[in-house]
């Protein structure tokens, strides 16, 4: 996924939430001053592999085996803690530094790549935590246009960004332990973000010619929302 392809979706997200693009760009520029280049081959060889994209929903505790059986495990946010506590090695963590940045920092010091995402609402966390990460194992990401060492491989929430990252580096099958789009315990803003995560995963599976089990029963609604947001660009 390159930014030119992702930008129409990014613009739709900004419009839907009323987010400020300049805030994202400001955060990106802060990260660009703190980060170092991260060649994506440093992630390891995910080409053709089964990649578990682990979400942080409570059901992850019951779906650990799906991650354990995968070739590669990419954990979104606190999913990393759940998996490590159950003896499942994490190959990459994706986070916007809002819940468990200590885990992310420790993983980088252990030689595990962490995709640290920056956006308009987390600049203080970026300034506080990026200097504590091991540079060699930190991939700084943005949802705005990439600059310098800060990359954009697509996605919006930690979970769907993990899926887009896996796709970007050539993953084979994607599996999804720990996902629940209907979690009753999340606040309204998080629920809206989960709706967008479903739409983005639908967009990704269309591009991949693949079907993700977690989208069963959601494709028609996701397609309608994407078509409304993107107009003629929906089928690009």
Q: What's the pLDDT tens digit per position in 150-198?
A: 999 999 999 999 999 999 999 999 999 999 999 988 999 999 999 999 9
pTM, entire model: 0.97
Mean pLDDT of 203-232: 94
Distance from C-alpha of 60 to C-alpha of 130, rounded to nearest angstrom: 27
| 8 A C-beta contact, residue 174 and residue 166 | yes
Dihedral, 109, 113, 119, 122 alpha carbons, nearest 10? -20
Residue 207: pLDDT over 70: yes
Give a yes or no: residue 213 inside a domain: no
How would you write the chain as a 3-class SS string?
Answer: CCHHHHHHHHHHHHHHHCCCHHHHHHHHHHHHHHCCCCCHHHHCCCECCCEEEECCCHHHHHCHHHHHCCCEEEEECCHHHHHHHCCCCCCEEEECCCCCHHHHHHHHHCCCCEEEEECCCCHHHHHHHHHHCCHHHEEEEECCCCECCEECCCCCCHHHHHHHHHHHCCECCEECCCCCCCCCCCCHHHHHHHHHHHHHHHHHHHHHCCCCHHHCCCHHHHHHHHHHHHHHHHHC
Question: Is residue 216, in this structure, part of any structural domain at all?
Answer: no
Average pLDDT, the chain: 96
Tell me: pLDDT of 114 over 90. yes
139 in any annotated domain: yes
Domains held by the chain: number: 1
18-57 tens-digit pLDDT: 999 999 999 999 999 999 999 999 999 999 999 999 999 9
- The pLDDT value recorded for residue 235 is 73
At residue 98 the predicted structure's pLDDT band, cuts being 50, 70 and 90, is very high
211 lies in a domain?
A: no
Whether residue 230 has pLDDT greater than 90: no
Q: Which residues contact 193 (CB under 8 A, 6 or more apart)?
A: 156, 157
In a domain, 226, yes or no: no
The residues, ordered by sequence, that sit 6+ positions from 26 with a Cβ below 8 Å of its Cβ are: 120, 123
Q: Tokens 């300049």 appear where? A: 22
What tokens appear for 233 in the block? 């660009």
Task: Note whether 32 and 155 are within 8 A (CB).
Answer: no
Query: Across residues 1-5, what is the average pLDDT?
Result: 91
Q: Is residue 193 in a domain?
A: no
Q: How far is CA 152 from CA 17, 33, 165, in A?
A: 20, 16, 9
pLDDT at 236: 67
What domain range is 56 assigned to?
3-179
The verdict on residue 186 lying in a domain is no
Residue 228 domain flag:
no
Q: How far is CA 84 from the centre of its chain?
A: 19
CA distance 32 to 156: 19
- Tell me which residue of 89, 204, 211, 212 sits closest to 157, measured CA to CA: 204
pLDDT value at 232 more than 80: no
């Amino acid at each position: 996924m390159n930014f030119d392809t992702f930008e129409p979706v990014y613009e739709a997200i900004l419009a839907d939430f009323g987010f400020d693009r300049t805030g994202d760009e400001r955060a990106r520029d802060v990260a660009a001053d703190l980060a170092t280049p991260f060649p994506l081959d440093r992630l390891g060889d995910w080409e053709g592999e089964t990649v578990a994209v682990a979400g942080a929903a409570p059901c992850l505790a019951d779906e650990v085996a799906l991650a354990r059986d995968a070739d590669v495990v990419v954990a979104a946010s606190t999913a990393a803690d759940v998996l490590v506590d159950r003896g499942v090695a994490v190959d990459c963590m994706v986070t916007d530094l809002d819940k468990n940045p200590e885990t992310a920092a420790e993983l980088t010091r252990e030689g595990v790549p962490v995709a640290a995402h920056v956006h308009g609402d987390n600049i203080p966390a970026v300034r506080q935590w990026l200097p504590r990460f091991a540079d060699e194992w930190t991939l700084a990401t943005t949802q705005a246009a990439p600059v310098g060492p800060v990359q954009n491989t697509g996605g919006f929430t930690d979970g769907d960004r993990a899926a887009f990252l896996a796709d970007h580096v050539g993953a084979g099958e994607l599996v999804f332990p720990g996902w629940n789009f209907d979690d009753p315990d999340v606040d309204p803003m998080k629920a809206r973000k989960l709706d967008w995560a479903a739409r983005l995963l639908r967009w990704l599976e269309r591009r991949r010619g693949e079907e993700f089990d977690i989208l069963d029963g959601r494709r028609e609604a996701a397609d309608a929302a994407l078509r409304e947001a993107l107009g003629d660009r929906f089928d690009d």
